[in-house]
């Protein structure tokens, strides 16, 4: 099942197929015409029809900003395709597909490009709530986010799986927000 979990905010003029805010289940998110952002979201296993650079995970034809976001494992269309430059400061993102990373560069603004986020299987929490992809041991997304981004709205130090952010996920006694929807 393709999914985006976390916080992605569509505004008027947005096209997506289909797209619902927090959590969003989607075939592909296409940001167009107006400013869009994705904060502490995980886009995984999404596809696009029509070629290798159509944006299976994300296609940006407008103004998009990504912070603390994972985009990975798109079986077709590439993880993140942008026909225009991204807006604002795009930082602390992990995109697996280094050939389709919306122009982001590995290491710049603490982005991790071309690296596997090591996601678990889609998990539905007991008692309800939106599904999420857990980060498995060894994931480079663990303790790699920006704490200020996690503390600010719309995340407000909350994770998709109900665990408060930040936590010390790598055992170094320093609590740092994880990249993506899961903490």
Output the pLDDT for position 172.
96
Output the pLDDT for position 56.
73
Q: How far is Cα 157 from Cα 19, in angstroms, rounded to an integer?
A: 24
- Look at the pTM and tell me if it is higher than 0.85: no
The dihedrals phi and psi of 80, each to the nearest 5 degrees, come to: -150, 110
10-residue block means of pLDDT along the chain (183 residues)?
A: 42 30 38 68 82 71 89 88 87 95 95 97 84 94 97 92 94 97 93
Output the pLDDT for position 27.
34
Output the pLDDT for position 97.
93
Output the pLDDT for position 53.
62
Output the pLDDT for position 51.
58
Output the pLDDT for position 52.
57
SS3 content of the chain, % helix, strand, coil (to 5): 5, 30, 65
Cβ proximity of 54 and 32 under 8 Å: no
Output the pLDDT for position 169.
95
């Amino acid at each position: 099942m393709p999914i985006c979990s976390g916080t992605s905010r569509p505004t008027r003029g947005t096209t997506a197929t289909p797209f619902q805010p927090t959590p969003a289940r989607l075939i592909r998110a296409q940001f167009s015409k107006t400013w869009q952002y994705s904060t502490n979201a995980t886009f995984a296993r999404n596809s696009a029809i029509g070629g290798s650079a159509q944006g299976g995970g994300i296609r940006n034809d407008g103004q998009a900003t990504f912070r603390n976001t994972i985009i990975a494992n798109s079986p077709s269309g590439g993880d993140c395709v942008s026909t225009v430059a991204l807006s604002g400061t795009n930082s602390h993102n992990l995109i697996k597909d280094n050939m389709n990373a919306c122009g982001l560069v590995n290491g710049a603004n603490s982005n991790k490009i071309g690296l596997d986020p090591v996601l678990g299987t889609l998990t539905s929490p007991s008692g309800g709530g939106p599904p999420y992809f857990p980060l498995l041991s060894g994931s480079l997304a663990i303790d790699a986010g920006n704490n200020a981004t996690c503390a600010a709205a719309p995340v407000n130090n909350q994770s998709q799986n109900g665990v408060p952010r930040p936590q010390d996920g790598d055992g170094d006694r320093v609590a740092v927000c994880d990249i993506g929807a899961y903490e």
